[in-house]
Amino acid sequence: MAATSALSAKPELVAELEAIVGEAGVLWNDYDLALYEYDGSIDKSRPLAVVFPTSTQQVSALVRLANRWNVPYTARGAGTGLSGGAIPRDGGLLISFARMNRILKIDVDNLRATVEPGVVNLRLSQAAAPYGLQYVPDPSSQKACTVGGNVGENSGGPHTLRYGVTTNHTIGLEIVLPDGEVITTGGKALDEPGYDLTGLFVGSEGTLGLVTQIISRLVPVAEAVKTLLAIFPTVRDASAAVAAIIGARIVPAALEMMDNLTIRAIELSKPAGYPIDAEAVLLVELEGLRDELDELADRIATLCQEHRALSVRVAQSDKERAALWAGRKGAFGAIGRITPDYYTVDGVVPRSRLPDVLDQIQQYSREFGLRIANVFHAGDGNLHPLVLFDADDPEQTKTTLEVGAKIMQTCAEVGGSLSGEHGIGMEKNDLMPLIFTEADLEVMRRVKRALDPEERCNPGKVFPTPGRCLEMLPRRGAAVGW
């Protein structure tokens, strides 16, 4: 049955969905569907129905039903994604994992946890904490985002500078393939023979199958933690200090940067102790043995001072440290209080090019007349410029998207990447040729076609729109032939 037929026969489709997940597990009225037509990105698209499975068997049955009705389907975690990965671009079913939210096992002896995809990121660390363990990947949205969503986007966070992103902490998956078959990849062992299918699915943005169970790596909580705040007169000085710290072979647990616009937004929203007259600050966190941290902190302070830091202070209590981190992790929300809307850009550049790229971003701000706030994972060069705009103004929205595309072009030109953790989704798929050749993309398409030949599994994501190449969609402004 064609997808268009499904639209006209909605009650019949709903009845079949309810037979799988129950009446309380299906939403299909327009009022309810409007709540699921967006995520944290700038795009929107309304699903045909939203379903809430509670088991792998139900997910498999839903996929088989979608195939029979010839409708696409998209997985959704908490909807905090920033590249449109959870938006049902072509309509169809939106499969929410909100009710598959159990922590199935904390395996202390093997430093592993087995969870369902709807488990909120922070809950996993809270569950592991009594055993002196933690789950390291910690996106700023960790109080809301889910482990399954993190797997789909290969999410990072401040503390992944030292410990790695989601793929480094995911060692096994249970997956429902696009034909409805259930497979498992990896396991609790340190290594598995054969192809690294776990690595293939992590970061695939829900385009190759639906993850229904995850085996995650846990790590011991560090013996000691020390947090420093370095204050700089310019963003260029702060970014130069970042390169110097890493160049000195010092790898902190976290190394974050915020500019003045971000600092002022944070302090207006919920004061965290940042000086509002600083043009930039570095938030540095060290973890390890208590005896070594004082020496490392002194070395970092010296490097910052050599790059014109106005002051470097060490958090004197857990309360002060928590306040500094609450400010950093609440930065995006704080920006939302000073602008009607903002567009989050996610790109990566070599650390040595941070000063030049940040200068260029400010040049775009002046050129296009839009304020841009910078708050990002400086240690690994993962930039998050926030472009402030008014979505009710179509021309301003168009300009904002053009600015975002130009920032991506700049990242590519200096040898960087289009995403450090937010994914490509439907936001940057037409920019993929900036860093991949057609041959590169064709290999990726072959993998997609092998697993999802009918392209029903989260269609319209990752790959450039056919025939567009580097020609941007009209809504993103004139950017032909970059």
What CATH number is given to the structural domain containing 404?
3.30.70.2740
Q: Do 69 and 21 share a structural domain? A: yes
pTM value is: 0.92
473 band by pLDDT with thresholds 50, 70 and 90: very low
Taking the C-alpha atoms of 327, 330, 335 and 338 in order, what is their torsion angle to the nearest 10 degrees? -80
Check whether 299 has a pLDDT greater than 70: yes
CB 165 within 8 A of CB 255: no
Q: Do 74 and 14 share a structural domain? A: yes
Check whether 2 has a pLDDT greater than 60: no
Q: Percent helix, strand and coil across the chain, each rounded to 5?
A: 40, 20, 40
Distances (CA, A) of 359 to 161, 354, 452: 23, 8, 43
Check whether 470 has a pLDDT greater than 60: no
Tell me the residue range of the domain where 421 lies: 341-476
Domain boundary, last residue among 76, 96, 116: 96
What pLDDT sits at residue 475? 34
Give residue-wise pLDDT tens across range 30-85. 999 999 999 999 899 999 999 999 999 999 999 999 999 999 999 999 999 999 99
85: in domain: yes
Q: Do 208 and 232 share a structural domain? A: no
The contacts of residue 334 (CB under 8 Å, 6+ apart) are 262, 265, 266, 268, 269, 270, 327
What pLDDT sits at residue 189? 79
Spatial separation of the C-alpha atoms in residues 66 and 387, rounded to whole Å? 38
Q: Do 228 and 330 share a structural domain? A: yes
Q: Do 235 and 216 share a structural domain? A: no
Give residue-wise pLDDT tens across range 152-196. 999 999 998 999 999 999 999 999 999 999 999 998 777 788 999
Strands 103-107 vs 112-115: parallel, antiparallel or unpaired: antiparallel
Domain boundary, last residue among 96, 124, 154: 96
- Report the length, in residues, of the chain: 482
Share of the chain above pLDDT 90, in %: 91
Distances (CA, A) of 183 to 61, 103, 203, 291, 441: 14, 20, 18, 47, 26
Spatial separation of the C-alpha atoms in residues 340 and 358, rounded to whole Å? 24
Q: Do 350 and 231 share a structural domain? A: no
Share the mean pLDDT of the chain: 93
Give residue-wise pLDDT tens across range 77-132. 999 999 999 999 999 999 999 999 999 999 999 999 999 999 999 999 999 999 99
481: in domain: no
- In the 8-state DSSP scheme, what is residue 371? -
Q: Do 229 and 215 share a structural domain? A: no
Check whether 345 has a pLDDT greater than 90: yes
What pLDDT sits at residue 465? 85
CB 315 within 8 A of CB 360: no
Give me the mean pLDDT over the 307-335 stretch. 96
The DSSP secondary structure of 86-98, one letter per residue, reads TS-TT-SEEEE-T
Q: Do 420 and 396 share a structural domain? A: yes
Give me the mean pLDDT over the 230-246 stretch. 96
Domain boundary, last residue among 311, 335, 359: 335
389 band by pLDDT with thresholds 50, 70 and 90: very high
366 band by pLDDT with thresholds 50, 70 and 90: very high
Cα-Cα-Cα-Cα dihedral sign, residues 351, 357, 361, 363: positive
246: in domain: yes
Check whether 252 has a pLDDT greater than 80: yes
- By the 10 Å C-beta count (0-12 exposed, 13-18 middle, 19+ buried), 314 is classed as middle
Give me the mean pLDDT over the 262-279 stretch. 96
**Residue 129 maps to which CATH number?**
3.30.465.10
Q: Please count the structural domains in the chain.
A: 4
Count of CB atoms within 10 A of residue 181's CB? 12
Q: Do 228 and 215 share a structural domain? A: no
Share of the chain above pLDDT 70, in %: 95
Check whether 277 has a pLDDT greater than 50: yes
What pLDDT sits at residue 482? 29
**Residue 75 maps to which CATH number?**
3.30.43.10
Q: Do 330 and 230 share a structural domain? A: yes
Give me the mean pLDDT over the 377-403 stretch. 96
What radius of gyration, in Å, describes the C-alpha atoms of the chain? 23
Burial 333-368 (b: 16+ CB within 10 A, else e): ebbeebbebbbbbbbbbebbbbbebbebbeebbeeb
482: in domain: no
What pLDDT sits at residue 295? 95
Count of CB atoms within 10 A of residue 412's CB? 19
Q: Do 183 and 76 share a structural domain? A: no
Bridge-partner residues for 116, per DSSP?
Answer: none
- By the 10 Å C-beta count (0-12 exposed, 13-18 middle, 19+ buried), 178 is classed as buried
Give residue-wise pLDDT tens across range 406-441. 999 999 999 999 999 999 999 999 999 999 999 999
244: in domain: yes
Q: Do 462 and 360 share a structural domain? A: yes
468 band by pLDDT with thresholds 50, 70 and 90: low
Phi–psi pair at 317, nearest 5 degrees: -155, 165
CB 216 within 8 A of CB 188: no
What pLDDT sits at residue 4? 43
Spatial separation of the C-alpha atoms in residues 39 and 41, rounded to whole Å? 6
231: in domain: yes
288: in domain: yes
CB 49 within 8 A of CB 9: no
Spatial separation of the C-alpha atoms in residues 464 and 418, rounded to whole Å? 13
3-state SS, residue 479: coil
CB 91 within 8 A of CB 475: no
**Residue 249 maps to which CATH number?**
3.30.70.2190
391: in domain: yes
